[in-house]
Amino acid sequence: MRARHLAIQAFRRLCQVSALLFVLYAAISAHWRNFKVGHNSARLVGLLKNEAWGEAYALNERALSWFGEPLEVSDGFLGVPWGASIAGLPFTDPLSVAALASQGQLPPTSMLVGALIPLGLALVGGKLYCSFLCPARLVFELGGAVRMGLQRLGLPLGELGIPRLGLWVGLGLVLFSAGMGMGAFHLVLPYLSLSQGLAAWMLTGSAGVGLAIFGVLLLVEVFVAPGQICRSLCPTGAVLEQVGRAAPFRLRKVDPSACPSSCNLCQRVCPYGLFPGQETHHPSCDSCGRCTLVCPDNKLAHGLEWGAKRCSD
């Protein structure tokens, strides 16, 4: 059983790292496409920039050529602040569709199709996107490790609880974007501020506003309100939580017997402070599975379970 839990954690880490690397690659590939259209020569790129750039250009072209014409293949791997295209398959934040519609614009078909992917994933597995695919979550978990280290050193840190405002925040931002644009979403969508900041850094060499905003969110996560940015304020996470309330694939208690009254290891390791051992973690749980590794009696596991469960909020 433990081997299975470890395998799931390894797969989750692979997904998180891949998502973060995709954001970086999508930004770097914009340079490659510009060089491809303007020069179409690794030698010229090396002369214009430096030898490392020329070698990177050639390496990327060889890799893309395995799948077809390099420029056409590259156009199928795009990363933008509100979504991405992976092998031509669109992925879109559902809130971007609502924000665009609030401005009186009809979202394009590709955008609508892209929004169905995270919604469909939520219908099946709840907030799996948050724990497996959100690049910000990986950084927040690293911040959680830093927080744990500081606590072991005796540094007093905040434990602020924030009311569950994600849906209201999302509604407010959608209404705000109707007249003022979508810029305000960068303030509360961690993955958006991180992705845009990293893209700006790779394209311009400047960290920009996006990384500055994410840095503030990370400081809040580490020093003030652990887990609350994702659980209580992120509007995308709130939408996916509501869609996935009856998701059949979930983290569940496989042993119906009561846990020892003195045991709260699963609650202590949960980034949101939920208590899977008491089965009150739905629908906020994003099935990260960290609790399965610390349960001494192997009472927790991922699996299929039909029907609504008790809620933690």
Burial zone of 269 (CB within 10 Å; 0-12 exposed, 13-18 middle, 19+ buried): middle
Q: Tell me what pLDDT residue 242 has.
A: 94
Residue range 57-84: average pLDDT? 82
Q: Tell me what pLDDT residue 82 has.
A: 64
pLDDT at 308 over 60: no
- Nearest CA to 243 among 77, 83, 118? 118
pLDDT at 168 over 90: yes
Q: How far apart are CA 12 and CA 298, in angstroms?
A: 19
pLDDT at 312 over 60: no
Q: Are 9 and 61 in contact (CB under 8 A)?
A: no
Burial zone of 71 (CB within 10 Å; 0-12 exposed, 13-18 middle, 19+ buried): middle
The CA-atom distances, in angstroms, between 159 and each of 99, 162, 172, 235, 254 are 33, 10, 26, 21, 31
A 10 A CB-CB count for 226 gives 23
Q: Tell me what pLDDT residue 99 has.
A: 87
262 — pLDDT class (breaks 50, 70, 90)? confident
3 state SS of 256: coil
Q: How far apart are CA 302 and CA 250, in angstroms?
A: 6
Amino acid at 169: V
For 305, the token pair is 């379970």
The CA-atom distances, in angstroms, between 216 and each of 66, 192, 193 are 42, 14, 11
Residues counted in the chain: 313
For 198, the token pair is 């990293």
Reduced 3-state DSSP string for 45-78: HHHHCCHHHHHHHHHHHHHHHCCCCHHHHHHCCE
Q: 153: which DSSP letter?
A: T
Cα 307 to its chain centre, rounded Å, is 26
Q: How far apart are CA 70 and CA 63, in angstroms?
A: 8
Amino acid at 105: Q
Q: Tell me what pLDDT residue 208 has.
A: 77
Residue range 283-296: average pLDDT? 91
Question: What is the chain's mean pLDDT, rounded?
Answer: 87
Q: How far apart are CA 76 and CA 90, in angstroms?
A: 9
For 160, phi then psi, to 5°, come to -70, 130
140 — pLDDT class (breaks 50, 70, 90)? very high
Per-residue pLDDT tens over the stretch 6-42: 898 999 999 999 988 888 888 888 888 888 888 888 8
Which percentage of the chain shows pLDDT scores above 70?
96
For 141, the token pair is 């978990």
Strand order in the sheet with 78-80: 78-80, 83-86, 89-92
- Prediction pTM value: 0.86
